[in-house]
Amino acid sequence: MRVDVVSIFPDYLSVLDLSLVGKARQRGLLDLRVHDLRDWTTDRHRTVDDTPFGGGAGMVMRPDVWGVALDDVLEPGAQLVVPTPSGEVFTQRHAEEMATAEQLVFACGRYEGIDARVAEHYRDAGVTVRELSIGDYVLNGGEVASLVMIEAVARLVPGMVGNPESLVEESHGAAGLLEYPVYTKPPSWADLEIPEVLLSGHHARIERWRRDRALERTAERRPDMIAALDVATLDKQDLAL
């Protein structure tokens, strides 16, 4: 998979040289390229923004500069990802869909965002354009959101994660539930013990305990996910909770 990131702060993305993504690059699993948007400007001041039509505070990023940059970077079959506070909220489903792309291009905006005609132009040209938020809070630009999404996608690329099995159960918990609580050594810490069942070696009971904790945690912290559950996936013991 090829991943391109276009930003006026390319150094923000240098963290991608580390850990999982860094190793994947070294192993040729991920072809990651970071670009400085200002390399596509033609004026002396390397201008990328201007005042908003219709007035209002702040500046908006120019479509013409983004257009020449994205025309250069986008390859056939690419998906264009535009982080924005006004986008669909990024979920594991988006990560799974994006992980199938031949190329992902992340357009990192700053100021008050990118001129809306950029997303429109590439959609009209038949490019898959994803305007995505990583949550209901406002960042200063698209770089951090891109880092989040790149990590979530890259770990799904075959060969990326050591134990692919850990991806199966973990895709946001079993069957649309939050993860159950996890424990490791030492068995006693700060006068807190390990739940007995986890020391029993009784796998059926452990599995049941984990599912109960996942259901309880989901009901407590994410009632929206409980509402979205497919009742057919619940068994009698689930319903007895």
Ligand X SMILES: COc1cccc(Cn2ccc3ccc(-c4cc(N)[nH]n4)cc32)c1
Site residues (vs ligand X, CB under 6 A): 83-86, 109-110, 112-113, 133-135, 137-142, 145
Structure token digits, residue 206: 């452990």
Residue 53 vs 137, nearer CB to ligand X: 137
Provide the minimum distance between the beta carbon of 139 and ligand X in the complex, in angstroms, as a whole number.
4
- How far apart are CB 2 and ligand X at their closest, in Å? 22
SS (H, E, C) 31-46: EEEEEEHHHHCCCCCC
Rank residues 52 and 176 by Cβ distance to ligand X and give the closer one.
52
CB of 31 to ligand X, least distance (A): 24
Give the nearest distance from C-beta 146 to ligand X in angstroms: 9
Nearer to ligand X, 12 or 180 (CB): 12
Residue 126 CB, nearest distance to ligand X (Å)? 24
Q: Which is nearer to ligand X, 110 or 211 (CB)?
A: 110
Tokens of 71: 């025309």
Q: What Rg value do the Cα atoms of the chain yield, rounded?
A: 22
Task: Please state, as a whole number, how many other Cβ atoms lie within 10 Å of the Cβ of residue 7.
Answer: 22
Cα angle for residues 213, 215, 220 (degrees, 5° grid) = 95
119 by Cβ neighbours in 10 Å (0-12 / 13-18 / 19+) ranks as buried
Task: Please identify, using beta-carbon distances, which residue of 47 and 233 lies nearer to ligand X.
Answer: 47
| 3-state SS assignment for residue 116 | coil
CB of 87 to ligand X, least distance (A): 7
Is 106 exposed, middle or buried, given 0-12, 13-18 or 19+ CB atoms closer than 10 A? buried
Closest to ligand X by CB, 16 or 215 = 16
Picking from 27, 2, 179, the residue whose alpha carbon sits closest to that of residue 92 is 179
